[in-house]
Amino acid sequence: MAKALGTLEKPPAVVARPQTAIGRLRQSLAADSTQEQFRSVLGENAGAFISSILELVSNDKNLQECDPNRLIIECMKAASLKLTLNKNIGDAWVIAYKGVPQFQMGYKGWIQLATRTGQIKRLNLKVVYEGMKVREDYLTGDIEISGVPTSDKAIGYFAYGSTISGFEKTVYMSKDDVTAHAKKYSKSWGRPDSAWTTAFDPMAMKTCFLKLKTFLPRSIEMVRASEFEDESYIDAEIAENANQGPIIEAQRADPQTGEIVEPEKKPDPF
């Protein structure tokens, strides 16, 4: 049957295609407010950093499941510290834990921040392998590591630092010590997506450094990085071991003679 003259066919309904995770992220990154934030922190390097975020998420299905705005907030933490998010470099990462993005420092990033203080002479973080010997001077706390590896089996890790003022310190932990430490204090231990599962050696060296950095000069950037990153397993250890010894009443000395003053005995109220 012929169509009546002057009638119009109804155009087919246009079905909007669902936006991909990368598309949503790209849209959030393109927002004027987001662009301005990155420019204020990175200047002319903002564009390259934003491109690195897209590349990072494109290669990580777990990050693609995260809310793009929360993801950008975590990436901004790395930008504010002038650290890259390139996994091959290892300065810092943004890792998804159960769909929630989380900024995480790498040990190389910590080295960068420490050396920026201008007060560090040397920093060295390494793996100790089977066949090597570790000796600690009980009096001075100095660590001596000698010998050559006989295999690629890690038996321990250390972080060494010295300052231009002459101070030096080494923190050594055996692999068993690191494992016990992580099991006890790390909330991510045992998860397949945890850095402890995918990159144990770097995480072990980082743990040594986190203990070492309490002895080193600290910059504003290092304090900020500590606030950004979840160091609860280090904080928990400090809290657990603080003030655990017996309480000893200190003897008082007379400020004029230097003689010990016996505390005045108070009468028994009962």
Tell me the pLDDT tens digit for each residue of 28-38. 999 999 999 99
pLDDT of residue 234: 40
pLDDT of residue 45: 94
pLDDT of residue 158: 97
Q: Could you list the beta-strand ranges (E) of the chain.
A: 92-97, 100-105, 120-129, 133-136, 143-146, 154-163, 168-174, 252-253, 260-261
> What are the pLDDT digits (tens) for 6-19?
555 666 655 555 57
pLDDT at 98: 78
Strand segments, DSSP code E, in 45-91 are none
Nearest of 80, 100, 182 to residue 92 by alpha carbon: 80
pLDDT at residue 230, rounded to an integer: 57
pLDDT at 193: 73
User: What pLDDT, on a 0 to 100 scale, did the predictor assign at position 228?
Assistant: 87
Q: Which residue ranges of the chain lie beneath pLDDT 50?
A: 231-270
Q: What is the per-residue pLDDT for 87?
A: 78
CA distance 235 to 186: 11
Q: So what's the pLDDT on residue 108?
A: 92
pLDDT given at position 10: 61
In this prediction, residue 110 carries a pLDDT of 94
- Please check whether residue 56 is in contact with residue 87, taking contact to mean a CB–CB distance below 8 angstroms: yes
Could you tell me which of 126, 128, 130, 129 has the C-alpha nearest to residue 159?
A: 126
Spatial separation of the C-alpha atoms in residues 260 and 255, rounded to whole Å = 10
